[in-house]
Amino acid sequence: MSEEDEEVLCEEPSPTCDPHQNGIDKFIVCQEELMALFAICPACCEKSDSRIVQQEGTFVKIEQVCACGYQRFWQNQPILNRNMPTCNLLLSGAIHFSGCLATQTLRMMTLFGLQCISASTFFHHSGLAERAGQEF
């Protein structure tokens, strides 16, 4: 579907039609290509070392270290309070509000090789939403 088609479909305001409703677009990126971005030091342009230091569902944090003394940490998404990766929560919400079965959706993502949340994380997020709804 082209951008022109999306504009035609979105003439009437609708929360399900906005392609940017979660604030930003998300992309599938292969690990090898992601790590290639950290192979060269931005300070001295020499080869640097990088490694994944944390991975939780859709979240990944990378450390880059160079012999010149340059060091940085990069993460692919913001963290909400209580150390919850934003996209992990958004994925749970998308599964819930789409009406799809969580176990089948997460199994499909796993078979595709996508890093995703576990079924227990999905049900934990669902429980948090239910408890929050009871407080109102």
Cβ–Cβ < 8 Å for 106, 119:
yes
Question: Which pLDDT does position 135 carry in this prediction?
Answer: 55
State the Cα–Cα distance between residues 51 and 72, nearest whole angstrom.
Answer: 11
Cβ–Cβ < 8 Å for 59, 76:
yes
Domain assignments of the chain as residue spans, ordered by start: 28-76, 77-136
97-134 pLDDT, tens digit each? 999 999 999 999 999 999 999 999 999 998 876 766 66
28-79 pLDDT, tens digit each? 999 999 999 999 999 999 999 999 999 999 999 999 999 999 999 999 999 9
